[in-house]
Structure 1
Amino acid sequence: ELSVQDIVEQVGTSQSNISQHLAILRDKGVLSTHKDANRVYYRISDPRTLKLVGMMRDVFCTV
């Protein structure tokens, strides 16, 4: 789980850009959220998605 600020720090782009993308992914059901105080935390809804991303990384990012 990561907050918007956590993602901004890791990706290095604007908070508004990250928030827009996260909203789209949440609306499509790819991400789920929960709020803690004034922060919203995002996580991948289906663990199979993480497995798929890992497989794609293995195939396309192998040096």
Structure 2
Amino acid sequence: MQEIVEAVGTSQSNISQHLAILREKGVLLARKEANRVYYRVGDERTLQLIGMMREVFCGG
């Protein structure tokens, strides 16, 4: 989670709350290995949506 905190620039508790909501809604899937949690997108359509938004708002 520290990598996300540093990249986004907010508190760990804020990131944790948002990740929990995204997991509850099925947007993210998580798996735990030892003391690390790995997240991935739970639905391929989410990645497609992100790609379309990137094209529209970032020019590709």
Aligning the two structures, in what range does the TM-score lie when normalised by the shorter sequence?
Answer: 0.7 to 0.9
TM-score between both structures, scaled by the size of structure 1: 0.81
1:26 aligns with 2:57: no
Which 5+ residue runs of structure 2 have no aligned equivalent?
none
Q: Matched residue of 2:26: which SS?
A: coil
Q: Who is 2:58 aligned against?
A: 61
- Which structure has more relative contact order (CA 8 Å, sep 6+)? It is 1
Which 5+ residue runs of structure 1 have no aligned equivalent?
none
Q: CA RMSD in A?
A: 1.2
TM-score between both structures, scaled by the size of structure 2: 0.85
Give structure 1 regions of 4+ aligned residues with deviation exceeding 4 angstroms.
none
- Counting matched residue pairs gives 59
